[in-house]
Structure 1
Amino acid sequence: MVCVDPDTVTRPAPAHGSKRQALIDATITLVARGGLRNFTYRAVAREAGVAHGLVAHHFGSRDALIEEALRYTLDSSAEVLTDVTEGSSLDDFVSHLAELVSREPDLQAFQYELILESRRNPELAPLVENLYAAYRDATADALERVGITRDDALTHLVFAALDGLVFQQLTMGNSARTEASLAKLRQFLASAR
């Protein structure tokens, strides 16, 4: 039996010009799956399939790489938000949420890891606030499209419910429970019109 040390296995090298993105993707994957405790230049480089010196070359520091990965997830969230909130009826409202969490679990887990890390690293707090502001704005827009007058408190409540459902599905993997809860949320919102 041959034993392979996972720390010595490297991914195939990314194409020229995509190494920076490969490092960002590797950061998201590593933080999502293992948190920040074991997050090192070598681990990121190994996951990305590049030399570890490229991490410092492209980003300068570990914190800069983490911040850039969080910015990337914020930009990616715009696409995610469109997928989740693009319907124009309450039946469509967040109809793809469970599927989205299943499709992009590392993106979601990375965001939660960094949200928690922002409590210890205040430099991340503005990025996290931007992330949440984008989600709240998309929620407010979606609620308006389904005929619910803009109300900051209601928007925050709905977003908090959605955020909690995403977190629970991510950690417990029960999409049936998520779907049942979303059906109840839609009923509640129908009565709020």
Structure 2
Amino acid sequence: MSNSDKLKLDLQPVELTKDVLKGYKIAHLTGVDKFTLSDDQRNVIKDFVAAGGLLVIDACGGFGEFDASVQAELSKIFPAEASQIAEPLKQDHPIYTAGAIPKPQPKYRVYAMQKLGADATRFRLRGLTIGGKLGVVYSPDDLSVGLVGMPIDGIVGYEPEVATTLMRRIITLKNAGGI
């Protein structure tokens, strides 16, 4: 993305503590297991999004107890908006259609297609619009393993090139103020 999109990515793991996300436009949360955030951690996320940040979340591997935890935590952090997570973003959402990066086609791994059935014919990203802006993008399907280019199966998620294209589109749109 640095060469193709002229973006400087600062990738580093952080603990969710006060002010840790200041200055960042995007934060990425991924996991497999059940988790619970503290009230302070919830406030860090809420403040980050309120300040214009975008939280991108994906269920690494596309299975496990992470999905239920994400939904529970989003309900606590954004109670008025959390119901939006129940439905995928419309297939004509700017994440899929806007900008110069070629529009991706939904292409899932073989294992994912077996598990998802008819759902594997469309994108399944979810979003929370908060204060008129997209504040959270959540993928119940794996993006992370795809981002590192792992072509292994047994993953409920997108093919690596699709996961990478989706993340490129999210980052470039956020950087350009399009979402």
Structures share a fold, TM > 0.5?
no
Structure with the largest fraction of strand: 2
What TM-score, normalized to structure 2?
Answer: 0.30
Structure with the largest fraction of helix: 1
Larger radius of gyration: 1
What TM-score, normalized to structure 1?
Answer: 0.28
